[in-house]
Amino acid sequence: MDYDHHRVVVRGQGLSFPELVAVARQGAEVVLAPEVREIVTNSRRAVEKMIEENRVVYGVTTGFGKFSEISISPEEAASLQTNLLVSHACGVGDPLPEDVVRGMLLLRVNSLIQGFSGIRLQTIEALIAMLNLRIHPIVPEKGSLGSSGDLCPLSHLMLPLLGLGEAIYQGERMTGAEALHRAGLQPIELAAKEGLALNNGTQCMTAVGALAVADALELLELAELSASMSLEALNGLIAAFDERIHILRGQKGQVISAKRIRTLTEGSTYLSQPPHARVQDAYALRCTAQVHGASRDAIEYVAQVVEREMNAVTDNPLIFADTDEAISGGNFHGEPIALAMDFLAIALSELANISERRLERMVNPALSNGLPPFLTTQSGLHSGFMIVQYSAAALVSENKVLAHPASVDSIPSSANQEDHVSMGTIAARKARSILENVRQVLAMEMLTAALALDLRGKAKMGVATQQAYLRIRKDVTPMLHDRVISPDIAAVAKMTQDGSLYAIVKSCIEL
């Protein structure tokens, strides 16, 4: 892929997380690679030949799902495709965020241009035009079973292409027809096979999941930073992060996590060195590398699965122009993403679980190694950070509910023709909700650690923890008297999103 944050050239393969983020969140222009044009055209010719020869091809000369036994005449082929999108657009709930919608459009284009879907080049170019002109279809977040792919959300995604449905254009919600008109585009009329090519795939769950993974990879590094600040605030024992311990176990993520924490706290005089009174710390400190490392390994595995799916062909039937065949299969089934998203949800939940336990130790006078109760010097009159721990605990408990796997569920549909489904989109949406909860919990931990370091007394922080502390204090003053804390939490949470804290980690560690 050609990629410079402003322009992404799509070829059907090699699409990466940074490129997806550039298009979805930074508005990068999408350009079709010249070599894919012939590939798409050849695939379309194969479909047209099948129609001319009156072959029985699912979704082209037959109905869909249970209706695959019903023949469709060539004269009705175009109406069949439009009817498919219209009838399948029955989602409910809040609209998906703009970045997810843009991600869906990009991923669908990236799949279609590989030349196995039989779609016309002009239809693909119309999708790219919508993306580049920032016409963002309204796509309700609920309604997908994750097989046959994301039929419902993808149908909503494609409606404005036909001048139907709704879209956001230039910040205003309007009909799809009006959005096209204002952008200078014309609605298209679908040809045979195109409706099925447009709504048969896993691009909703994959877009939600891919953006969640991109965020999770950054949040993982911030979890190491947050843990490092807490370790200093609690005068933790750095010996537990000795490289020799972690190499003996041989778990890659654990070794990396321990190294991160040693690097981020390098030079700190807050950390206890031998000889010391305590033999060992509680698990929330001593086992941070083991827990974070396991989550790191899980998230990196999920990233591999999702990146493969970003570059996958998930249509049905697939058109093999070189052998003049249309083969029905099940690449639309979302099980790979469903399982990966459930794993991501669990891995992220554990980052919040152990974060909340570190936070608890800082506010609990029985566990904090000398810090004042709830980090207030006026106990009773002031509650300090007492309820910050409550809020963190609430989010952690909510995550435990959300982490229940969606992929183990299935419910038959289409008169039992589609009798096993993945629930992959539900899994992806739950993982995204957990990720945002984790972000808030880490913000609470860092905010708590910053105040604990203020109260601990003068000492030298680590190379990265000092920078993180100063970044937090730039926007949030120490809470020496009770005040509304939510704005402080929101301010630090924003730092976990705007890249300012991530930049600190990146400056100290080669990522």
Query: Catalytic site residues?
Result: 58
Say if residues 24 and 211 touch (Cβ distance below 8 Å).
yes
Say if residues 135 and 98 touch (Cβ distance below 8 Å).
no
Query: Which residue has tokens 């449905």?
Result: 165
Cα–Cα nearest to 419, from 148, 142, 59, 154:
148
Q: Is 65 exposed, middle or buried (0-12, 13-18, 19+ CB in 10 A)?
A: middle
SS3 category, 364: coil
Phi and psi torsions of 505, nearest 5°: -60, -45
Phi and psi torsions of 416, nearest 5°: 75, 10
Phi and psi torsions of 31, nearest 5°: -125, 135
Give the Cα separation of 106 and 56 in Å (integer): 31
Q: How far from the centroid of its chain's Cα atoms is residue 402's Cα?
A: 15
Cα–Cα nearest to 145, from 318, 311, 310, 335:
335
Give the Cα separation of 489 and 447 in Å (integer): 7
- Between strands 7-10 and 29-32, the pairing is parallel
Amino acid at 381: L
- What Å distances lie between residue 227 and 146, 163, 199, CA to CA? 36, 51, 44
SS3 category, 30: strand
Give the Cα separation of 1 and 153 in Å (integer): 27
For residue 51, what is the enclosing H or E element?
Answer: helix 36-52
Task: Evaluate the CA torsion angle 329, 331, 332, 335 in order and state its sign.
Answer: positive
- What Å distances lie between residue 97 and 25, 279, 434, 450, CA to CA? 10, 50, 16, 33
Provide CB contacts within 8 A for 139, sequence distance 6+: 91, 95, 96, 100, 101, 104, 153, 156, 157, 204
